[in-house]
Amino acid sequence: MIEIRELTEMHMKEAIELRILCWTEELAGKAENTLSVEEELEMWIDWMNTAEENNDIRMLVGAFEGERMLGVAFCSFAETFDIPERGIELNGLWVYPDQRGRGISLIMMIYILDFYLAKGMESIVIYNHHYAPSNQFYHKFGAKVTRQEYQLDGSLLIDVFLADMAEMKRKMEQSLKKYIEI
């Protein structure tokens, strides 16, 4: 049975290794993967531990079967230039390649959306590489590209998606039914 749990510092090294593993795929050959486990781990643990001082509610969750990590998702309040109020940002969503096709991303996203909807949030912003296979995932669940920008010194085109959280959750729950009964 898949269980969603909040990540602790103990889980973060594996979560970051998964992020870096998925990063190469997300880059889709448009830029080189230069991420370092050590640097990313330090940055994300700091991010994890500084939510309160930044007036943020950050959620770092993992999908587990027993003690085996299947995927992770990171989320926080959105920057006001993306969503002026009542918004969140999906900071990352990564699933091991051999675990895809099981609804794991949907389960984690529904968990996150439930959490933030209960706190009065309404919209979600997602930055995703334009050429990444995962772009279709966000389109499928109602997210719309509102702008594009370049990152990594202009070598990587990013789509900035916005979506209504309640509508996204409804569509995800409907889709999840083909994997499990919720």
Residue 41 is encoded by which pair of tokens? 């781990």
Q: How does pLDDT run across 44-98, given as a tens digit for each residue?
A: 999 999 999 999 999 999 999 999 999 999 999 999 999 999 999 999 999 999 9
Q: How does pLDDT run across 115-160, given as a tens digit for each residue?
A: 999 999 999 999 999 988 899 999 999 999 999 999 888 888 999 9
Residue 96 is encoded by which pair of tokens? 């091991």
- Residue type at 87 in one-letter notation: G
Domain 2-176, CATH: 3.40.630.30
Rounded to whole angstroms, the Cα distance separating 18 from 138 reads: 20
What are the beta bridge partners of residue 77? 88
Closest to 126 (Cα-Cα) out of 70, 176, 97, 164: 164
Q: Give the DSSP letter of residue 67.
A: T
Domain residue ranges of the chain, discontinuous segments joined by +: 2-176
Tell the residue number behind the tokens 């209504």, with chain if given: 164
Rounded to whole angstroms, the Cα distance separating 39 from 131 reads: 25
Q: Contact at 8 Å (CB) between 112 and 126?
A: no
Rounded to whole angstroms, the Cα distance separating 114 from 169 reads: 8
pLDDT of 32 > 80? The answer is no
As a whole number, mean pLDDT of residues 150-179 equals 94
Residue 40 is encoded by which pair of tokens? 């990313």
